[in-house]
Structure 1
């Protein structure tokens, strides 16, 4: 740091301060050594929280201190937006990324900022409101991989395909997460500061502040330049987000060893992994009371996960069309009564909740809060999921009307001329089903299979598809239980076996006749 490009203020700070009982300038030199050791680009995981901000400040200073000729490789700062982030945090991250990019351009640093989002088919609302997935719990935390791990992993894979190898920089600290520290330690490469990525080939991990304490983190954020970051933005707002709260942050999630973001100010406002969202409550108590409708909506979702409420909100069938039971425990007789596993949320509740969500969004915007709680692509994807729902197809195609009832406007909806049924058709089939003692939904599904194969020169597999529909459980939960009770084995039960055998015999006879005449 003899011929430094750093301002005197930064030089004085790095010369006098210590982190983890080590001179601050040691960490600058460490970052520079790793940066200059090869040509592999860096991907910095940025969550907007204190740890990722601290590591970014450190790296920014280290690059700023290097001669321009030595700033030879690209540094990608990537933030993951789950599309259900706490609103105040979304605003903070967006402004921070913009400021970092402007600062890097001004200082001629090879830094670019990027925000990644989940694939539309994998977002929180498409899964919960579209497919009916239950609100996440500690036992069924389906959200983390879809919303956080996959988008970041895809970004890293893209860079690996372009550069062969990349180094991922994380703000992980041993004090913050012992489990995460142990995972990284197990994958350490002897003689280097790097560790192998636990799941991604040709990606490596570098944790520059792994020995720092939380006091060290706040020291570089607050004391470097009176809250001002080297890229030109103030970190005072970040300090206020944490002020008066014991909650942590949601780290950049790159694999399943990363701890849950529950109770974090840098997590999702919809998070139901924790019993109470104390972070959101604290924000509201601190003056952001406009977010109270979001907290109420989140609490409502959490209530659906209470054991005694599950059968109220959720279908008795899984998305496979079958009623499922818990596995028999060791030593339990297979014929013993076993717990029922409820399926997705009933479509009626999903419709109700979507309307409430849109109403909250509309009201907040009318009050001056520019916010998008659910995106237009998500609405299109949810509509598609409803139309093709395996248990309750939305033959009314109700989402366009639902949206219109809230916003008095239409989106650019795509209407399929090949949709099998409308509300009138469904009512007729239900009347006929009651008259003949047949489940109307089953008949609709059978007709859907036939229509999907219509016009094809090769109709192979149609009977397998028809068989699959016939094997599903039809009727009310009580009716299905009654049918199941007549069979010793719940899993091998097939009420339509005789009917399927007759169909198979008929097909075989037709095929035989076809061969004889052709």
Structure 2
């Protein structure tokens, strides 16, 4: 079978006018494919080796250090062996742009990492699909214009096989020319033709061939590959679209190339395997589990998605206009009551991670990096994260203020969509208090005020916005119910004091805005309490004017009113 594959590769190489690209991940399949291509080139007379073969590899920037080191060694050996054998081979290492960098997205902008429960897995696109597609677009744009129906200009060789899984076979079948063909269309580019030379080769056949060779022609040994490979450890590989390429990230927990991947939590099979082999990766697993815990913690989540904040702050629709020439007080009150921008939420549907959470994770990452001696995040990436904080939150924090610091985390506080505590998933042992503060601020003013407090404190307090209405009085105002759960806060007065301090309601710390907000709070809370007491009194008086209620005894011997 190997000779048949190499014969096909030879015919393609000599007769295919398209740019030749081999997608290489360092796993057994892509290594086997590259081996057959390499041997085919060596069998050609030197005068026929005129066409460049591009070896494309994706560097996500968050591979496990041992895997990143292994792949870098492989690429170096490929370059050296190609030069020694005088083969026209070039290595193309593609990386995500800084705006699609994992640390920029997660720590900079607060984007939530994908988990098995999320519908979309954008990190695969940021880190792998995007960079490879950008390279394809570059090659397509620079290719000569071809006349005729065939517009393809790139041939992409992929080490995918039918035997991998039913899902992989279905993916191959969807775009293949026919059942027996090794050729397939690309799902996203009409200009790219895909070739699957090892489509019908089994895993056993590949391993047998690699072990027999001992050392692959580009210098990687079978022993090195098998040690790194482990239990399917290198099968994530390079991807060029959502549907084509090697196995999807974290699909079954067998291979998680990115150590930060959230598709498998808890006892991450890749990291636990590396730890068992003696690698110092306990800190990596610790950081990843911290990130996943904080991801669902209400205390580190924005009240709304950023897009919602942006829409509110722009106030696109705006309140209905009040007739300024109407001096009738009842009409003015009606208009105010009807047009007042109420701040209400029906459910708990928070946004991304708060700045406080992002900073905690960054400083803990630096702590692990320094303690364990790993290169996890570069200075350029740190600077990009800080710039993202200024861009998204308006907070400028100097690099010198960011210190390696071990996180003091007390366990997640998880809420359900109905705005109640999820008892099954909550690990936090502290008491939870709900502190309501009434504010005379319409919806956009309320959210703007809260964002400003968040910027000033550089800490966050999650709150549920709501409004207080007294329809008979034509009075309405907004309020915020804060969720307070912190070590050391054991009583409601402590929680109230904490909220008031966060709002800036402390002598000597007042601004004009916080002072006015505090005064409004005192007035509105007094009015609210007074109206509610009056309403209760009126209801009580109405009940006492009714005929006496009959009292009876139920089956349990309890006295009950018969209504």
SS of the counterpart of 1:175? Answer: helix
1:174 Cα deviation from its structure 2 partner? 0.8
The answer to whether 1:233 aligns with 2:220 is yes
CA contact (8 A) 1:135 1:304 kept: no
User: Is there any run of 5+ residues in structure 2 with no aligned partner, and where?
Assistant: 145-152, 312-343, 406-437, 453-460, 472-477, 480-563
Mapped to 1, the partners of 2:73 and 2:58 lie a distance apart of 14
CA change 1:38–1:318 in 2 (3 A) is same
Q: What's the counterpart of residue 176 of structure 1?
A: 164
Distance of aligned partners of 1:485 and 1:196 in 2 relative to their CA distance in 1, 3 Å threshold: farther
| Structure 1 residue 302 displacement after superposition | 2.3
2:205 match: 216
Aligned to 1:386: 389
1:346-393 CA-to-partner distances (Å, cap 9, x unmatched) read: 11111111001111112233xxxxx4211222222211211122xx43
How far did 1:280 drift?
A: 1.2
Deviation at 1:180, TM superposition (A): 3.3
How many Å apart are 1:399 and its aligned residue?
4.6
- Displacement of 1:119: 0.4
Match of 1:255 among 241, 252, 262: 241
Offset at 1:323? 11
* Structure with the higher strand share, 1 or 2: 2
* Paired residues for 1:39-438 under 5 Å: 39-138=17-116, 139=118, 140-164=120-144, 165-189=153-177, 193-224=182-213, 226=214, 228-243=215-230, 245=231, 247=233, 249-258=235-244, 259-262=247-250, 263-265=253-255, 267-275=257-265, 276-288=267-279, 290-305=280-295, 309-322=296-309, 339-365=347-373, 371-389=374-392, 392-394=393-395, 397-403=396-402
Partner SS for 2:90: strand
Q: Which runs of 5+ in 1 are unaligned?
A: 1-22, 325-335, 366-370, 407-433, 447-474, 487-493, 496-518
The DSSP-based 3-state class of the residue aligned with 1:79 is strand
Aligned partners of 1:112, 1:485: CA distance in 2, in Å?
74
In structure 2, do the counterparts of structure 1 residues 272 and 161 end up closer, same or farther at CA, with 3 Å as the change threshold?
Answer: same
1:236 is displaced (CA, Å) by 1.5
Q: Distance in 2 between matches of 1:436 and 1:349?
A: 29
How much does 1:31 deviate?
A: 1.3
Q: Output one character per residue of 1:10-57: Cα deviation in whole Å (capped at 9) or x when no partner.
A: xxxxxxxxxxxxx32112112112222222121111111111111111
Rg larger in structure: 2
SS of equivalent to 1:267: coil
TM-score of the superposition, structure 2-length normalised? 0.63
Q: Which moved more, 1:311-320 or 1:109-118?
A: 311-320
| CA positional deviation for 1:435 | 10
Contact in 2 for aligned 1:248/1:264 (Cα 8 Å)? no
- What is the CA–CA distance in structure 1 between the aligned matches of 2:398 and 2:156, rounded to whole Å? 42
Shift of 1:339: 3.8
SS for the counterpart of 1:44 is strand
Length-normalised TM-score, structure 1: 0.68
* CA positional deviation for 1:265: 4.4
Q: Is the 8 A contact 1:272 1:301 kept in 2?
A: no
Alpha-carbon shift at residue 108 of structure 1 (Å): 1.4
Judged with a 3 Å threshold, the aligned counterparts in structure 2 of structure 1 residues 193 and 435 are, in CA distance, closer, same or farther, namely closer
**Counterpart Cα distance in 2 of 1:115 and 1:176:** 25
Deviations 1:75-126 (A, max 9, x none): 1111101100111110011010110111111111111112111000111111
On the 8 A contact 1:126/1:381 being kept in 2, the answer is yes
> For 1:153 and 1:111, how far apart are their aligned partners in 2?
20
Using a 3 Å threshold, how does the CA distance of structure 1 residues 247 and 89 change in structure 2: closer, same or farther?
closer
Q: 1:340 to 1:441 in 2, by over 3 A?
A: closer
What are the superposed Cα offsets for residues 213-272 of structure 1, whole Å, 9 maximum, x if unpaired?
Answer: 111221222212x2x1112232322201234x3556212111112543213446100011
- Deviation string 1:421-442 (CA, Å, 9 cap, x unpaired) is xxxxxxxxxxxxx998685872
Q: 2:10 aligns with which of 12, 22, 32?
A: 32
Q: Residue 6 of structure 1 aligns with which residue?
A: none
The C-alpha deviation readout for 1:466-492, integer Å capped at 9, x for no partner, is: xxxxxxxxx9633x2337999xxxxxx
The DSSP-based 3-state class of the residue aligned with 1:482 is strand
Aligned residue pair count? 385
